[in-house]
Amino acid sequence: MAQAIGVDIGGTGIKAGIVNLAHGTLDSDRVRVNTPVGARPADVLDTVREVLETLGVADSTLPLGVAFPAIVKRGKTLSAANIAKDWVDFEAEKFFEDGLGRHITFVNDADAAGVAESRHGAARDAIGLTIMTTLGTGIGSAFLHDGVLVPNTELGHLHRDGESIERWTAYSAMERENLSWEAWSARLQEFYSHVEFLFSPDLFVVGGGVSKHPEKFLPLLDLKTPIVAAVHRNASGIIGAASLAAD
Ligand code: BGC
């Protein structure tokens, strides 16, 4: 049965699993280790190595995909919104390939999540434009047109009052400012209405940890576009990264 390994590097945790590519499910436990303080490249590499060892795949020849919270163009990380600035203009894919002694596929985390939802989740068989957004520490986005990914869309960095809208609208803003669901949803409304006007999507998919509680905020949004919760919550980055690595 076709399998690949997915690793999802986040601001707080580094997670990994062995993915069943036909079903988009995990054939292993989901292993999680805290992201090292500061998230500098060398420390993150050590932690990824540790996670792969725990998963028992340190010497595996299965395809390996790594999802990361930054713009990733041809293996190079180009931004660092919620991570160490060392990652800006950094040959991340090569750094991990050299460090792990194997081939890897390095991709943006929201793009990975979008691919997981498109191939195996809430946007399966969706036609036209699906916009996946992940609401967490920041806001990640993925555009899929008839299932084809257009990478690095970065909607969390649309500007509002001179700063990235994710500062104001991500799930972390709700926690930081102790907002009610209603107050936070009003911010989401502004964000999604603007994105809807700009891109006329056919479907919005909402991921990130908060998609565990879709009933608290999705009904409060008034949009022309259907908006649904992601199916794969904390495994979407793992599943999508593994799928992309196997392409
Ligand atoms: C980053 C994106 C990332 C998103 C979610 C944003 O701050 O710029 O690249 O996808 O956070 O992690």
Residue 215 Cα distances to 20, 101, 134, 181, 211, angstroms: 30, 45, 16, 10, 9
Same domain for 219 and 183? yes
93 and 141 together in one domain: no
Number of domains in the chain: 2
Closest C-alpha to ligand 1, atom 4 = 140
The tens-digit pLDDT sequence of the chain (247 residues) is 699 999 999 988 999 999 999 999 999 999 999 999 999 999 999 999 999 999 999 999 999 999 999 999 999 999 999 889 999 999 999 999 999 999 999 999 999 999 999 999 999 999 999 999 999 999 999 999 999 999 999 999 999 999 999 999 999 999 999 999 999 999 999 999 999 999 999 999 999 989 889 999 999 999 999 999 999 988 999 999 999 999 9
Residue with tokens 């932690």: 47
Q: Are residues 217 and 241 in the same domain?
A: no
Mutate to test the pocket of ligand 1, among 154, 165, 206 (most ligand atoms within 8 A of CB): 154
Alpha carbons 66 and 218: distance in angstroms, whole number:
30
Judge whether 119 lies within some domain: no
Interval between CA 81 and ligand 1 midpoint (Å): 7
Specify whether the backbone of 160 is left (phi greater than 0), alpha (psi in -120 to 50) or beta. beta
Q: How far is the CA of 59 from the centre of ligand 1 (A)?
A: 30
Whether residue 91 is found in the same domain as residue 139 = no
Q: For a ligand 1 pocket test, name from 109, 115, 149 the mutation site with the most ligand atoms within 8 angstroms of its C-beta.
A: 109
117 in any annotated domain: no
Q: Tell me, what CATH number does 79's domain have?
A: 3.30.420.40
Same domain, 166 and 221: yes
Q: Is the domain of 102 the same as that of 166?
A: no
DSSP string, 186-198: HHHHHHHHHHHHH
Ligand 1: which residue has its CA nearest to atom 10? Answer: 140
Q: Do 208 and 146 fall within a single domain?
A: yes
Shared domain for 137 and 209, answered yes or no, is: yes
| 116 occurs within a structural domain | no
Containing domain of residue 52, as a range? 3-111+236-246
CA of 193 to the centre of ligand 1 (A): 20
Residue 118 lies in a domain: no
Which protein residues are within 6 Å of ligand 1, measured from CB?
69-71, 79, 81-82, 108-110, 134, 138, 140, 154, 156, 166
Task: Indicate if 69 and 130 belong to the same structural domain.
Answer: no
Judgement on whether residues 73 and 166 belong to the same structural domain of the protein: no
